Structure 1
Amino acid sequence: MKSLSVIELSKLYGMTRQAVYKQINKGNLSKNSDGKIDLSEAIRVFGEPSKHVNSSQTTETRKLSEVHLLEQQVHMLQKQLEQAHDREKFQRDELKAKNDQLHVKDEQIEAIQRLLEAPKPNMTTFTDQESVQPNMAKTANEPDKVEAKHDGLTTSVETENKRIPVPEHIEEEPEKRGFWSRFFKPYG
């Protein structure tokens, strides 16, 4: 009859080597002089191996189902990774658009600041004031010469009478009194 090693027997019946060694230690199985176990003795203890072949087939189907499950998980993880890449690309594009908007706003602010800092043509600068002041001194010393500028709103008579008449007698305003002085200081 055919002899099998402990490993071959455990594979044939789909059990662990420790389970086979337990049967040997109990005395249910015996080894030959070459250290192998007769198949007939294994059939007497464990039964026909065809029953256990189905268990090896079930382990194979379990392995296949585990492989299938792992393949599904890998596929799901690949989809999640693609979605993460898409989100990252979207956020990058959105950030770039916001940066572009900020750049445009910065340019607008700089343009407005340049306009604010630019001297206006009607305003006089410090150097212009120096040249205007001596001319004003001449006109103050020479009141006879009045340069008439006709702006269309005033008449020539109005340009000559630029002084406002001041009354000769001005009454002094009475002293303002505080709250407590109204009670303790007499009117004088």
Structure 2
Amino acid sequence: MAGSDKVSDRFSASDSDVTFRSCDRILFQVHRKNLEVVSEGFAPPDGTRTSQHEVVSLTENGVTLELLFQFIYPQKYPDLKDVEFPQLAALAEAAEKYQVYPAMAVCNCRMGEAYQEHPHEVMMYAMRHGYTDLMDRSERIALEVSQTVAFESFSPQVYIAWVNALLFSMDGPPCKPE
């Protein structure tokens, strides 16, 4: 038997016109206009409409969406300084996925503060989303890990990229044949 939905205390506006369901079955009733102003990922294509009673299921959990939706309203944004890194990383990925611009900016700053403690995760985030400065900073620390730890910890694609970056940092850029 599937669990029943619970409505978010913070996002339960009676005049909402779109409802999202988290993967852990929390409903978020928000305003489409706010989504359109601060994001691209939530806005339906031009000329399409969704029913006011339609519920859109998302893959993120309720804690992540609770934080993310706070960035769509004109209010003080949540202070992410006390958010544990795994939750920050989940929020940063959701912000990028749905293109919630204020959340993207704040998360990028916080990920920049976390790169020394979490260099591999921050490096991958930066690579996925094109933050080259952050990628360069985190890469320097990530390259200091032993090859055994890297081999055991990284996916094959990440390990190959890590080895290439390590070789590049030792030998300089590859030379073109003349």
Give the alignment's TM-score, normalised by structure 2: 0.17
Q: Compare the two structures and name the one with the higher helix fraction.
A: 1
Give the alignment's TM-score, normalised by structure 1: 0.17
